[in-house]
Structure 1
Amino acid sequence: MGRAEERRARQRGGRRSAPKSRPPRPTAPATHTESAATAQDTAPGPAGTATAVTGGRAAARRDARKGAAKGAKAERGRIRRLFTWKKTLGTFLGLCLLVIGAFVVLYMTTPIPAGNAAAKLQSNVYKYSDGTLLARDGDVNRENVDLSQVPKDVQHTFVAAENKTFYDDSGVDFKGTTRGLLNTVLGRGAQGGSTITQQYVKNYYLTQEQTVTRKLKELVISLKLDREKSKDYILAGYINTSYYGRGAYGIQAASQAYYGVDADKLTVPQGAYLAALLQAPSQYDVSTASETGKKLVTQRWNYVLDNMVEEDWLDASDRAGMKFPEIKEPKAAPGQEGQVGYLVKAANSELEKQLVAQGVAESREEAEAMVNAGGWNITLTIDKKKQKALQASVKEQLTGKLDPKKRKVDADVQAGAASVDPKTGAVVAMYGGVDYTKHYINNATRTDYQPASTFKPVILAAALDQGAVTQDDEKITADTVYDGTSKRPVVGSDIGFAPENEDDVDYGPVPLQTAMNKSVNSVFAQLGVDVGMDKVLKTAAALGMDTEDLKAVPAQTLGTMGASPLQMAGVYATLDNHGRKVTPTLIKAVENSAHAVKPADPIGGQVISREAADSVTSVLTGVVDDGTAQSSVRDNPQRNGQKVAGKTGTSDDNKSAWFTAYTPDLVTSVGLFGESAKPPHPQVTLTGATGEIPGKGRINGGGFPARIWADYTFGVSKKVSKFDLDTDQGAAVRKPAPPSPSKSPSETPSEEPTTEEPTKEPTKSEKPSESPTTEKPTDEPTTEEPTTEPPTTTAPPTEEEPENPLEPQRDQQAAPRD
């Protein structure tokens, strides 16, 4: 120990001591610690011993501290040598290059993907002919619109709200994205700051999940999209994929949901509100928001407008005068209840056909997928007033009288109807059934029931158009006389056929006009053979019926094929249109941003001659004025002189009943169908339904179908019109004949009676008259001669069974047999 150290040690001990003699050197080398211990051990005297021990311990501590300091210094040296500024800079640059390289690889290997399935889903929008909303069809209430349909000032509201630098940036906010990545890694949740481009990429190409991978993809795709697409393209995508609340995706759906207008009618204040909504759609809906929510959205609305002024997109004076827009109360989107579902389904079916016909889709299945994908804006031809009137007529004349609790058969009655404008081909009204949610089959378009005698005008049209002749080589006209004997075998057919007339009535020799009025099966079976059944079916196809799978056999003359009210309305519309083809269409206009398709042209070329078509029309006026439809149509108090041509039909076993008829301006086909209410819903009889018809209770075409037709047609007709006919045949051009004497009151004469003298029609035991009458039967038999209708027989009915004119009927006069 040195002197100075000893002195300090003594001072610490409280007194000074004399220097001690040095201990003898050890014979062997010793460490510093060992020397200290030896000195302590050999220190003489008590005082010396204590001093030596204390000094030795202090020296040991000092030596330990020095050793630790040297070790730390050496470690620091090693660290400094390992992390020099050059090495640190090099490492940093290396990491930067690695990140850049990884980003380049990510950029090169990440393509712009197809839109995600959820973002592609859109609703199909259906509108009435006047543009008012009918329905939206789809799980997602979305309707894309072109940016050109959004006013420029309204476009700016979204840019002002979300991304003022949108038109100048590269599509990415690196600062905001970095912050978002860090917050995601640290588990702090979603963070804002994304550009419009990034938000669009997230909505359309990716998902809403908060992951680092998704955010990196968002960054890369946004950069690529900004390079490859225009700003308008991105902005359009953004406003069409964003969610605005109230179940509305896209600006068009939002415009309707909040203001009841299309996007092209939006004002700047309205647009600013929609742009403000994007921050918190549910919270900012002022109709349901809390006071805090209303305050926040108002602040946000002002923020949007102020930004527009700042960016010179809005004049400050205009901004000062703007008031917060008035918002509509929320309501549920129209559903598929009632007739809506039938109309939507029929419109979709027609659109699918057009997609295939115009080459947009390769198959019906592909077309159906396109329609179901959504995004279609379809304006239907349906007239809202006529649609409402048709529904009311069906309820008033039929469904309101049905009571399944009293009569089981009432549950089996289905009604269908289609109404067409013959000049344009537009379907102006359609009745598909009681309710689409209760009966999904559209009775207006179904083709599984026989049209029965409503097919007879087609046979006559074929005869007149083809210039057909009888077995005696006489040209066929409306005055050609045929043998109306029931069960008479047809002549000239390789296939034997002898149809039974209604109630097995023998009419004897009758002209075609009377045979049409009375719906004589045996006459039209022979007429079909005379024309040639192949030609009859060819004419049927030309007029609009589906005959592809039909065999050209005489039995088809009874209307045993399937047909729908819509098809039959098209056939009769072609007759009404003087032989120019009318294909009923439900679609007035259609729009889709991804697919180009045009509505079908409903008016075609001449498929039968005008003279033939007009002659059939003329003959069919006799069915109304002298035949099976007179009680429901001719004598209807609403008729007011309106000219009508039409035909009734009642199928075998009374499974269907029809009335298809037209005025010069409107064609409507009404069908009643017997369908069991119990699965698997087989066809059943209508007989006994409503309980209104006594006796056999058969539902004939001249009954409820004709009543529905008359109530609807005469109710919507604004003026009385007359047929412009180019013909000298048929009841419509006959001169009136003097009334026949009768001691009982006769029915009101038709407006244009036939010139033939009345005569009674034969019974089975009587010889047929040579000149059958086409004059109207009386309500009651006269006292001078028998009724003009033959008595009924007990033979089973075949094709049609009319109501008995001798049986009293509630709410209608006695009607001739159908």
Structure 2
Amino acid sequence: MNSYGDSQSPRARASVPGSGASPPDDSRPAPDAYRRGAGGRASVGSASVGSASAGRAPVGSASVGGTTGSARVGGTTGSARVGGRASVGNAPVGGITGSARVGARASVRPGLDGPESPGSPGRPSLERSKAAKKRRRANILTAAAAVVVILLGAGVVGGTYFFDSVELPAAKTEDQSNVIQYGNGAPLAKIGDQNRTVVPESRINKYVKDAVIAAEDQNFRDHHGIDMKGIVRAAWNNFTGGATQGASTITQQYARHVADLKDISINRKLREAVIARKLESQYSKDDILGLYLNYVDMGSGRYGIEAAAQGYFGKSTLTPINEKNAVTPYEAAVLAGIIKQPYPDKISKGFDPTQNPTGAKDRWEYTMKAMLGLGAITQEQYDKRVFPKPKPRSASTCKTCAADTAVGMVIRHVRAELAAMGIDANEFERGGLTVTTTIDPDVQKAAERAGSRSSKTSPMNGKPKSYQAAVIGIDPTSGRVLGYYAGDDPTGYDYGGYLSDDGTKILGGQSPGSTMKIYTLAAGLKEGLSFDSIWNGELKRPNGKEINNAGADPGRICSGKIKFCDLETSTIKSYNFPFYWIADTIGRDKVISAAKSAGVKHMFNDDGKMIDLTKTNASTWGKSFDNEVAFGQYRVVPLEHAEGVSTIVNQGVHHKAHFIKQVKRVNPETGKTEVFGQDKAEGKRVFDADQMSNLTGVMKKIVQTNNRNLDNGREAIAKSGTWEFDDEKDDDVGSGDCWFVGGTPNLSATVWVGGKGNKVELKDNGRDMFGSGTPARIWEKFLNEATDAMNLKKVDFPQRIPTGDPAKFGNGERPPAPQNDCALQLIGIECNGPGNGGPGNNGGPGNNGGGQGNDDQQDNGNVGTFPFNTTTPGT
């Protein structure tokens, strides 16, 4: 046994005394990387290695230091070969003194200092000019110095202090790109700086691994991280004017990457060598090869061998050899050849086969021959070799990416949902995810064409730059967001979800106006409210203030029946007073609870404070909101409101609105693609089905009243809404937020129009804008285009079932007895004159438009028409 506890090998470590020898340092254990039994370690004292007569000796043996260190002289040319690792104390090596420990075998080039024999074969003649000899001697000395520097550097690598001072960095977890897809699998975006897919080494195609070893480090399986022969050869070549060579092994290349060693210096090479040795002591060869293959730059913006195989040949390295679509040895050699120089520079065009086919083929030939020499392929395979044709280089790696397009806004919602699944920002940045979104490309295009000012066919086209729209389409049967337009700048303000760019917080919302009434009605129907209940529009609030109905003439409200107006007419005409009293009667907390059940999670009070409805209760709601919550005073998030609308459209069954259909990622241990998460099909019934049929039965009439019947006879429901723009400098109260919401049984749609940034007073053809104007036209255009593109089946809403007790709620007066001077009344037909009829025939402008949630149908005596259907105001 030796001092390290190893059994004595034939190439034993020998203690060679000398005048300048230092005793072994037994107090410091040798690093693991040096405890290999492959070779002995000789401690050489003050020995004159260079003094051995090697030039003319036959096969001589030189006595080094006078002991058993046994330095073998390689032959007649004076090649002295040191048979094991030697610790050289102050020894003159080749005439240069240095204190170093040689950590590996070194081969000294012949003929560096032996005398020349005139007339000997290969020797220069004595007649050679002195100048030529001088130049030759200078070259030899320079190369010799380079070899010594490298050897001395290797000695420093072996030096205990230096070795211990260099820490081994942890193996890197390589960043990958995240692939974001549309719902149909088409690419939506690639997110991440590097196009990489990490795969386990154990499953990588064997031809690929062998080809990389053949091209980059043919001694990979034999060395201990540093190839000394390669270092000497590279140094000689570099210092004698040949092409620059790095002589880095695969382990050294990975060491340089993991330690982020980018500068070109002796110190970097030494640190790289130390880290390489330490890597080899800690990881197996297969582990190191796997780390290397997943990190290496493969050109064309591809990182790692899997991205390269996919990009250049459309194949996966995980497909076993000899199976269909497996990487062939010829393709593997092309991939391996790229590593040497993946990108062109001023000197070389590199070896990317799509950039430099000629150079790539030359490198391929070299790699194929090396593979044959290593036994990685047979002679028959080599003889049948044909250079494979890579996929043509595309102009862009992702032509359908979301950069600078409106659909890019979806990404922040994807990130927010991933975080909720447990994939935080750090894991997202590492990448490797394939996220299939719910977005349908056709529905998305329809949303953008309908809502964007830049679309020539949008009702927003030509509107002031200060105007902004949001269009949200949801599958009500699943909650999947199929189309989402929330602004043209994907990195700008999110006018649909008001989500911050990092997806961590909600920044604001908008007042929903009369569209909030759908929740008030849902809450009332749950308590037994009937659409036949009667309400008095002349009653004032407890504080004596009137309930605003947009300044409408009381004599014209509800066709002159303001004291006994039924709830159905009030819903279609969107009068405010019944809804104020419903909230007052059942409690505004029940209105808010209904909104929460439908999908509204946040509301903002008068002070602008956001109230999280999921974390608060009725006591907080009562302090934060007034009865005007019933007709839309308080701001909500459009996306959450769209979720609530979708619940109503789906007859009271709630599905959470979401953007992710499925998330997959590659298991780093098995290499298999696994489903990490996916959406759920089950919904939750939150409102009674009969009560919802009653509500949607009334909402169908709103579509008809506003002349928004869809193409192909598709049945739809809707609700319009407007909230005021109150300019303190002007007594006029205009429109600040305008909405139109509803949809078909298989596609709900929510449209908002308001100010871009700050709130502005909205106009349509010079008059106040209302929800039944521009928002309704956007809604109609979007639904028609989206349903046609998706070829959705025509589905009708359930038949209406009246519910509730007319006598249970209401504060209206009993209507007067019918007059007998009109014979038509005897058969149930109203005798009112023109402009004083039922819903939609109210006879005068301003009855229900404008401020404080009151809606927007400025009728002119014709059912279903309003001024904004034509270019002539008031027609």
Calculate the TM-score normalised by the size of structure 1. Answer: 0.68
- The total of aligned residue pairs comes to 651
Distance apart, 1:684 and its partner CA: 0.8
Aligned to 2:38: none
**Equivalent position amino acid for 2:762 in 1:** L
Q: Aligned in 2, Cα 1:280/1:523: closer, same or farther, shift over 3 Å? A: same
Moved more, 171-180 or 550-559: 171-180
Aligned to 2:751: 670
Structure 1 counterpart SS, 2:600: coil
Are the aligned partners of 1:154 and 1:267 in contact in 2 as well (CA < 8 Å)? Answer: yes
Distance apart, 1:297 and its partner CA: 0.7
Distance apart, 1:816 and its partner CA: 13
Are the aligned partners of 1:457 and 1:616 in contact in 2 as well (CA < 8 Å)? Answer: no
Aligned to 1:476: 529
Whether 1:86 aligns to 2:65 is: yes
**Equivalent position amino acid for 2:663 in 1:** V
Q: Aligned in 2, Cα 1:205/1:792: closer, same or farther, shift over 3 Å? A: same
Q: Which of these residues, 319, 324, 347, is aligned with residue 414 of structure 2?
A: 347
Whether 1:633 aligns to 2:693 is: no
Are the aligned partners of 2:738 and 2:769 in contact in 1 as well (CA < 8 Å)? Answer: no
**Equivalent position amino acid for 2:572 in 1:** N
Residue by residue over 1:237-268, the C-alpha shift from the partner in whole angstroms, topping out at 9 and shown as x without a partner, is 32332222233333455456545677667733
Distance apart, 1:276 and its partner CA: 1.7
Aligned to 2:721: 649
Whether 1:425 aligns to 2:479 is: yes
Aligned to 1:456: 517
More helix by share: 1
Distance apart, 1:580 and its partner CA: 3.9
**Equivalent position amino acid for 1:647 in 2:** K
Aligned to 1:303: 366
Distance apart, 1:545 and its partner CA: 1.2
Distance apart, 1:412 and its partner CA: 1.4
Aligned to 1:489: 540
Whether 1:545 aligns to 2:581 is: no
Structure 1 counterpart SS, 2:752: strand
Distance (Å, rounded) in 2 between the aligned partners of 1:496 and 1:176: 96
Structure 2 counterpart SS, 1:655: strand
Aligned to 2:841: 788
Structure 2: runs of 5+ lacking an equivalent: 1-50, 53-62, 70-85, 91-98, 103-154, 319-324, 344-348, 499-507, 603-610, 613-620, 669-673, 726-734, 805-812, 820-824
Structure 2 counterpart SS, 1:530: helix
Q: Aligned in 2, Cα 1:185/1:306: closer, same or farther, shift over 3 Å? A: closer
Q: Aligned in 2, Cα 1:700/1:644: closer, same or farther, shift over 3 Å? A: closer
Whether 1:380 aligns to 2:419 is: no
Aligned to 2:466: 412
Whether 1:687 aligns to 2:759 is: no
Distance (Å, rounded) in 2 between the aligned partners of 1:769 and 1:266: 88
Moved more, 595-604 or 714-723: 595-604
Distance (Å, rounded) in 1 between the aligned partners of 2:282 and 2:164: 14
Whether 1:226 aligns to 2:287 is: no
Q: Which of these residues, 590, 593, 597, is aligned with residue 535 of structure 1?
A: 590
Distance (Å, rounded) in 2 between the aligned partners of 1:220 and 1:184: 22
Superposition map of 1:321-332 within 5 A: 322-332=386-396
Distance (Å, rounded) in 1 between the aligned partners of 2:450 and 2:158: 73
Superposition map of 1:192-211 within 5 A: 192-211=246-265
Distance (Å, rounded) in 2 between the aligned partners of 1:600 and 1:648: 34
Aligned to 1:499: 547
Distance (Å, rounded) in 2 between the aligned partners of 1:195 and 1:696: 75
Q: Aligned in 2, Cα 1:174/1:682: closer, same or farther, shift over 3 Å? A: same
Aligned to 2:686: 608
Structure 1 counterpart SS, 2:264: coil
Distance (Å, rounded) in 2 between the aligned partners of 1:796 and 1:130: 42
Aligned to 1:30: none
More strand by share: 2
Distance (Å, rounded) in 2 between the aligned partners of 1:682 and 1:327: 50
Are the aligned partners of 2:437 and 2:662 in contact in 1 as well (CA < 8 Å)? Answer: yes
Distance apart, 1:706 and its partner CA: 2.5
**Structure of higher CA gyration radius:** 1
**Equivalent position amino acid for 2:722 in 1:** T
Q: Aligned in 2, Cα 1:312/1:383: closer, same or farther, shift over 3 Å? A: farther
Structure 2 counterpart SS, 1:651: strand
Distance (Å, rounded) in 2 between the aligned partners of 1:462 and 1:385: 36
Are the aligned partners of 2:643 and 2:656 in contact in 1 as well (CA < 8 Å)? Answer: yes
Q: Aligned in 2, Cα 1:716/1:482: closer, same or farther, shift over 3 Å? A: farther
Cα RMSD over matched residues? 4.6
Aligned to 2:428: 371
Structure 1: runs of 5+ lacking an equivalent: 1-78, 361-366, 469-474, 676-680, 732-763
Are the aligned partners of 2:693 and 2:800 in contact in 1 as well (CA < 8 Å)? Answer: no
Aligned to 1:338: 405
Are the aligned partners of 1:427 and 1:584 in contact in 2 as well (CA < 8 Å)? Answer: yes
Distance (Å, rounded) in 2 between the aligned partners of 1:695 and 1:100: 85
**Equivalent position amino acid for 2:686 in 1:** I
Distance (Å, rounded) in 2 between the aligned partners of 1:543 and 1:254: 48
Whether 1:659 aligns to 2:715 is: no
Distance (Å, rounded) in 2 between the aligned partners of 1:186 and 1:489: 102
Q: Which of these residues, 320, 327, 339, is aligned with residue 267 of structure 1?
A: 327
Are the aligned partners of 1:172 and 1:194 in contact in 2 as well (CA < 8 Å)? Answer: yes
Q: Aligned in 2, Cα 1:643/1:107: closer, same or farther, shift over 3 Å? A: farther
Distance apart, 1:121 and its partner CA: 5.1
Q: Aligned in 2, Cα 1:723/1:375: closer, same or farther, shift over 3 Å? A: same
**Equivalent position amino acid for 2:548 in 1:** E
Are the aligned partners of 2:198 and 2:304 in contact in 1 as well (CA < 8 Å)? Answer: yes
Aligned to 2:126: none
**Equivalent position amino acid for 2:716 in 1:** V
Q: Aligned in 2, Cα 1:176/1:496: closer, same or farther, shift over 3 Å? A: farther
Q: Aligned in 2, Cα 1:309/1:186: closer, same or farther, shift over 3 Å? A: closer
